[in-house]
Structure 1
Amino acid sequence: MIKVAKFGGSSVADAEQFKKVKGIVDADPDRRFVVVSASGRRFAQDNKVTDLLLLVNAHIEYHVDCTALLHEIERRYVDIKEALGLSFPVRERFDDFIDSIHAHSPEFVVSRGEWFTAQLMAEYLEKPFLDARDVIVFHHDGTVDLERTQLRIRDAVQRLGDFVMPGFYGSTVDGSIKLFQRGGGDISGAILARCIDANLYENWTDVSGFLSADPRVVDDPRTIHRITFDEMRELSYMGASVLQEDSIFPVREVGIPIQIKNTNLPEKRGTTISEVAKDGAREHLITGIAGKKDFLAVHVQKAHMSSKVGFVRRALSVFERYGVSVEHIPTGVDSFGVVVSAADVKDNIYAIVHDLQKELEPDSINVVDQLALISVVGRNMSRRAGTSGRVFGVLGEAGINIRMITQSSQEISIIMGVSNADFERAIRCIYDNFVDTEMVDMPRQATLA
């Protein structure tokens, strides 16, 4: 079995965290390949190394001296080296970095956080260091050239065997450093797992997996032990995220599961993201619940709307004209709604309504603000008839008015709009009645798409 273990910034923040990583890697010989982020926060008021390097770039851009800032970053790595008794020449390499910093691109500067972290981790784990610059290949449009990347990674495996690789960056075909978006270390790990045909991609962080509800709203919500990729996307879209969303695609396409684990509590089961249930497993009816406040809905009514070709498209073109992203479009026979973030239209909602009236000549337009969206997510809801009605009934009994209802085409989520004022109470009501209690027996050899 082959496992790729990716450790986030909190897992490599200082020497004590390095020791935890070593304990985790040494405990399982299948963890042959390790990917690390740049050192993260050591305590609440601390700074991530990546943020400090971004600040260095800002200093350089505005011709402000950044010597003290660079020495602060250097000190972080010197402290790790000295505490662990490592030999890697941090001071010399950092001096070289400082001396040539103006000759390098901003992306190169930011990538040094991962580079120094991986160099120290490689020595500490007694594994070879593999520079992501040499194997992760980007097209010039910013997408990853998976074919070239796979060839280079497989060649590295042949040459080096096991290794430690920095995440978050690679290079274009001409050798220039290219960064992923923030959180891209997760993507690096997923690409590595795909390219070496790993059996499991472990993502080690500072939480013990996905929670079934926001702990700021629900006291001690249960951990989701298994979730499908689609469910994770649904919950992440509403803010319940512990994993960079784009990191799922490289491994999902080839059927490699992801496991979210806690570096500080490695004995915890964590969350496994996979499509296939164990034979005869007993699972929760509802996987999780998430939501956000401060949406706005524009309801448009027009008699015989359904017979007017392009009516909804013309409405959406108005929102596109103002650069507004549409969240949901609940529809009826003679009406539809457009749900958007209130922040996206705060300066132009009146202009949008004016253009809709001019473009569509509707019978009426009604704007509803102070709207919160709640997504109830569960791959097993379709297995039990009447689940939606029971959820709505529980909210009704609690005196919570549902302003909007829509359901995903895959039937794994129900999205409801309620007043901002009812948001927390609605989530707790659904959680108490369904999320932590109701179970479903899975049929044998169940495959979840």
Structure 2
Amino acid sequence: MLTVAKFGGSSLSSRQQFEKVKTIINSDLNRRVVVVSAIGRKEKSDDKVTDLLYLISAHIEHRVSYEELWENFSQRFRDLKSELGLTYDIELALQELRAEIESENLPEDYLVSRGENFTANLMADYLSFEFVDAAEVIIFNSQGEIDLEASGHHLLERLDPTKKYVIPGFYGAFENGTIRLMSRGGSDITGAILSSCLQANKYENWTDVSGVLKADPSIVENPMSTAELTYDELSELSYMGASVLHEETIYPIRALDIPLFIKNTNAPNDEGSVILRRHKKTPDLIAGISGKKNYLSINIIKGQMSSEKGFLQKTLKIFQDYSINIEHIPTGINQVGIILEAKEVENKLLSLLESLQEELKPEELTVREQISLLSIVGEVLIKDSHLTERIFSALARKNIEIEMIAQSPRSLNIILGVQDQFYQEAIRVIYDELVSKSL
């Protein structure tokens, strides 16, 4: 049996948090591969270690002093080593990194990766596990994409199944050893890759919440968690803004049906959430509600549009020519709406509208801005028309106008568009209707 356990930055922010991690690891001998993010904020006012390293990189590029940033970064690691009584020579590691910085030849990806690297070295020392550099085992191909096959080969060569390891998240390397970062939150992906390549029995993701919450806790007070979700439900929630997990985490473990557990380092006995290929228990009414603000809708109206061959294809080609990513395309007989993030057309909206007018010759071309998209996810929800009626009625009672309605082809979620000004209230209304009233 093998469990891969990943710990986020909030689980690694202080001596007390390291102690909690050790207790968790020692409580299950199957937790033999540990993945760590960079140490997190000790206080809310602290900068994240990764942010400090990006700032140091920017200061170096603009030839501005980074002494204060460096001291802040360095002291965080010195303090941890001292408080935990570790033997890892963090002072030497910092001196070597500083020398590399001053050589003026240090790539940003390498510099930023040291947050995870130093944290993993400290954790390996603390747990008496072996440290393995992610650059040795997480391999990127020439296109900058993770090569699962090559990573698996390197992992099986490097790791002894009888030993225990700590591996830094968030980065890997090309075959020539050049460090490559993942996108922010990439330590989740590292854990998933290791779980897949090592064919783990389970993948645990330890964070500061007890599972996948049904709504954003900054919007809904003390939202409930969902005990069990499918990979597809979690993917929909993550894509539309739920911050518990990086949205790309699912793909490496899904093919092997490796269960993913979301657990709370600060409350390890809480049930948390488990993510599976399909439900084993009766699903909740909804898995969760997530959303994003700052969308816009470009609405095209033209008589007999539906009989004009290739009209939609021609429309989409225009957006492709402008390298614009489209989110949703609600359509009618003589109209089509193109929903996209406002940032996609930043500085090119007028030019795009001119091209649409010239190429399509619509009777009407309008833009609705400041739209939020809400995704209400759950297999039960879509199958029960009474529940969807309750959503619309609850929003109507609060005079929240629905700008758009869409449903995923796999019937996993309903997506609603509302004005940005109603974003938080709409989430609270839907949560109250489908969760609070159902207790």
TM class, shorter-chain normalised? over 0.9
The normalised TM-score by structure 1 is 0.91
Equivalent residue, structure 2, for 1:336? 336
AA of the residue aligned to 2:395: L
Q: Distance in 1 between matches of 2:414 and 2:365?
A: 25
Does 2:14 align with 1:14?
Answer: yes
Q: CA RMSD in A?
A: 2.1
Q: 1:62-211 counterparts in 2 under 5 A?
A: 62-101=62-101, 102=103, 103-158=105-160, 161-211=163-213
Contact 2:203/2:259 (8 A) holds in 1: yes
AA of the residue aligned to 2:173: S
Change in CA separation of 1:432 and 1:79 when aligned onto 2, cut-off 3 Å: same
Change in CA separation of 1:69 and 1:365 when aligned onto 2, cut-off 3 Å: closer
AA of the residue aligned to 1:276: R
Equivalent residue, structure 2, for 1:447? none
SS in 2 for 1:261: strand
Contact 1:128/1:160 (8 A) holds in 2: no
- The range that moved more, 9-18 or 289-298, is 289-298
Does 2:307 align with 1:315?
Answer: no
Change in CA separation of 1:63 and 1:399 when aligned onto 2, cut-off 3 Å: closer
1:169-190: CA deviation from partner (whole Å, max 9, x where unpaired): 2221112222212211111111
Q: Distance in 1 between matches of 2:73 and 2:394?
A: 53
Contact 1:295/1:370 (8 A) holds in 2: yes
Q: Distance in 1 between matches of 2:262 and 2:92?
A: 36
Structure 2 gaps of 5+ residues are none
Q: Distance in 2 between matches of 1:51 and 1:209?
A: 26
Equivalent residue, structure 2, for 1:47? 47
1:107-134: CA deviation from partner (whole Å, max 9, x where unpaired): 2222111111111111110111111121
SS in 1 for 2:294: strand
1:160, CA displacement in angstroms? 6.2
1:35, CA displacement in angstroms? 0.7
Equivalent residue, structure 2, for 1:244? 246
Equivalent residue, structure 1, for 2:218? 216
The normalised TM-score by structure 2 is 0.93
Q: Distance in 1 between matches of 2:93 and 2:424?
A: 51
Equivalent residue, structure 2, for 1:295? 295
1:74-107: CA deviation from partner (whole Å, max 9, x where unpaired): 2221211111111111112321222233253222
AA of the residue aligned to 1:147: E
- The range that moved more, 421-430 or 195-204, is 421-430
- The range that moved more, 345-354 or 333-342, is 345-354
AA of the residue aligned to 2:409: S
Q: 1:253-292 counterparts in 2 under 5 A?
A: 253-278=255-280, 281-292=281-292
AA of the residue aligned to 1:360: L
1:344, CA displacement in angstroms? 3.8
Q: Distance in 2 between matches of 1:53 and 1:68?
A: 12
Change in CA separation of 1:145 and 1:354 when aligned onto 2, cut-off 3 Å: closer
1:381-424: CA deviation from partner (whole Å, max 9, x where unpaired): 24434443443234334443322211110111111222334333
Structure 1 gaps of 5+ residues are 440-449
Change in CA separation of 1:385 and 1:323 when aligned onto 2, cut-off 3 Å: same
1:194, CA displacement in angstroms? 0.9
- The range that moved more, 264-273 or 97-106, is 97-106
Change in CA separation of 1:303 and 1:175 when aligned onto 2, cut-off 3 Å: same
Equivalent residue, structure 2, for 1:429? 429
Q: Distance in 2 between matches of 1:343 and 1:160?
A: 50
AA of the residue aligned to 1:326: I
1:143, CA displacement in angstroms? 1.3
SS in 1 for 2:253: helix
Contact 1:379/1:411 (8 A) holds in 2: yes
Equivalent residue, structure 1, for 2:235? 233
1:438, CA displacement in angstroms? 4.7
1:295, CA displacement in angstroms? 2.4
